[in-house]
Each structure stands twice: as C-alpha cells, then as structure tokens.
Amino acid sequence: MLKKITTAASVIALCALAACGSGSGGAGNGTGSSGGDAITMGFAQVGAESGWRTANTKSIQEEAKAAGIDLKFSDAQQKQENQIKAIRSYIQQKVKVIAFSPVVETGWDTVLLEAKRANIPVILTDRAIDSDDTSLYKTFLGSDFVEEGRKAGDWMVANATGPTNVVELQGTTGAAPAIDRKKGFEEKIASKPDIKIVASQTGDFTRSGGKQVMEAFLKSQPKIDVVYAHNDDMGLGAIEAIKAAGKVPGKDIKIITVDAVKDGMTALANGEINYIVECNPLLGKQLMELAKKVVKGENVPARVVTEEGAFNQEQAKAALPNRQY
C-alpha cells in the first residue's frame, strides 16, 4: 500500500515538473493530445531567470500553438536534475519529439541515449551540449555565443582610453553562454594588455545575482571602469548596486551587456548602459519548423545559427519603439 502511494506521488510530482498536457499545449491548444497526426513536443525549459527567458518561453508557446503542435512544457528552475527528470517523463509519455535548452553543457549523454533508444528525436535549442556523440540530437538551433562575446570585446577595445579595469558578471556556471561569452570577450581584449579583467564571478543570469555580486565587487575592487555582464538582467542588477554606492552607471562605470531585451534597451537609451550585444530569444517559429521536419524523418542542418546585431545608445533609442520583447 505504502509503495503504491509513493509511486502515485512520484507520478504526480513528475507530472507537475513536466506539466503533463499543459503549457500552451495539451488539451489547451486545441490540437488534441498525442492521438491522430498531431505532433506532441516535450519541451524542457531552463527556468524563468531572465527577461530573455520569458520572451523565449512565450515565443515557443505561441509558435507551437500556431503550428498545431501539442506542447508539453516544463520549467527546470535552472536545475539540471529537473531537466533530466522532465526529459525522462517525455520519453515515458512517448512524445514525438523532445526539445530542450540545456542549463549546463555537460552530463546529458545518458538521458539522451535513452531518448535515442526510444526513437524520439531531440532538438537542442538556445544552448549547446558538450558531448562527443553528435548522434544524440538532430540539430542545434541558437545563437553563436562566442561571437556575442567577441562583439562585446570589440566594443571594449574600441572604447578603452587607457588602463581599464573590467569586472565580469558571468552567467550560470557551466552554461554554454557563460563559457562562450567569456571566451569571445577575452579573445578580443587579449590584443590590449591595458584592459584587464580584475574580478569575475557568476550572477547566475539573474538581476538579484548581478546586484549581489556587483555590491561585493564595489567593496573589494579599488578601481572599476567597466562592467561586462553576460546578460541584461545582471547588468540591470549591477546598475542598482552602482547607484546605491553613489556612482553613476554608464558614466563613472561603463556597462556592456548581452541580450537587448526591452528593460536593457531602455537602460541603454537612458545612458545607464553603454553597449548591448543582441541575443535573439524568438526561436519558436524555427523550432516548430525543424520539429515537423525531424518527425517526418527529413534531413535538417546540424546547426542553425540565429542572426543578431548590437546596439549603442543612439541605436537603442531608434529601435526601442518597435522592440518586440
């Protein structure tokens, strides 16, 4: 009896985690559930850590509905074990395709092999994994994060006017965008020994994390010229800390961020951020197109790179009125 209750409880817990038949899909999207020709997609999202993530989730849910795809959506709250549980639940539910944005790069081979053995194709979206076995997924749709870091580094090199101390607010430890944005930035500033990263710590891609780490940097670092934040939210948290310390963000301390979500672009247009590299969260439409193809067994490119730009303060003012996210 006790065993039965425990089993029932774990199914409910798994359903809550994997949002069985909910999100924009399930019975709610009018496409029916797994019966008939409807494609059922299990999507394991990273979490709701940033404005970028909110826009990404909205895009996936809206585009699934528009494409007639029955979406089962789960939020892993930035924990790899939650994403793995959600993927296992999608395998049990025999969805037609699994898509996910891996919270960190490593540790996916076992669960992806389980999906492969169950003949369920997997699409990586937004973030990549670090695995030698590329047969574990059909395609990877998302940004070139190293290139984003390079764009930030190019701006730094072009705008440094002498010895420059940079503090870096890193994204989630072990996540592809944190690793790659650091790499691209360092690659570019290597040509200018005067530009130094004097402190670097994770703010977990959240506003509160960025604020907390920046408060500590302001106490421990005698001279900070520039903040390089791996996303807008951490940069916005840093702005709060800089103001609280009696300094002027964008002037006393320059700020470079990545994403270009509305809140970030507003701060850029107001002069509190100096440069933003764009990272496009609107991946839903391309994801649904790729999903339809992989379910039919059609060939898809191994890598689909998102096109994106970068904004200075004047460009942000011009772009803001039409910004979708």
Within 13 Å and on the Cβ side, how many CA atoms surround 163? 3
Taking the complex as a whole, the smallest distance from the CB of residue 151 to ligand AHR amounts, in Å, to 13
| 259 is a site residue for ligand AHR (CB under 6 A) | yes
Closer Cβ to ligand AHR, 49 or 105, answer by number: 49
Q: In this chain, which of 41, 49, 253, 268 binds ligand AHR, going by CB under 6 A?
A: 49
| 258 is a site residue for ligand AHR (CB under 6 A) | yes
Taking the complex as a whole, the smallest distance from the CB of residue 153 to ligand AHR amounts, in Å, to 16
| 204 is a site residue for ligand AHR (CB under 6 A) | no
| 52 is a site residue for ligand AHR (CB under 6 A) | yes
| Residue 138 CB-density burial (10 A; 0-12 exposed, 13-18 middle, 19+ buried) | buried
Taking the complex as a whole, the smallest distance from the CB of residue 219 to ligand AHR amounts, in Å, to 26
Residue with tokens 């200075």: 312
With residue 40 as reference, give the H or E element that holds it: strand 40-45
Identify which range of 20-28, 50-58, 190-198, 266-274 contacts ligand AHR by CB under 6 A.
Answer: 50-58
Taking the alpha carbons at both ends of the chain, their separation in whole angstroms is: 50
Q: Distance from CA of residue 279 to its chain's centroid? A: 9
Residue with tokens 């072009």: 158
| 168 is a site residue for ligand AHR (CB under 6 A) | no
Taking the complex as a whole, the smallest distance from the CB of residue 253 to ligand AHR amounts, in Å, to 21
Q: In this chain, which of 21, 26, 42, 177 binds ligand AHR, going by CB under 6 A?
A: 177
| 115 is a site residue for ligand AHR (CB under 6 A) | no
| 242 is a site residue for ligand AHR (CB under 6 A) | no
Contacts from 242-249 at CB under 8 Å and sequence distance 24+?
Answer: 242/214, 242/218, 244/215, 245/215, 245/218, 247/218, 249/273
| 205 is a site residue for ligand AHR (CB under 6 A) | yes
DSSP characters over 59-113:
HHHHHHHHHT-EEEEEE-TT-HHHHHHHHHHHHHTT-SEEEE--SSSSS-HHHHH
Can you give the binding site for ligand AHR, defined by CB under 6 A? 49-50, 52-53, 126-127, 177, 205, 231, 258-259, 279
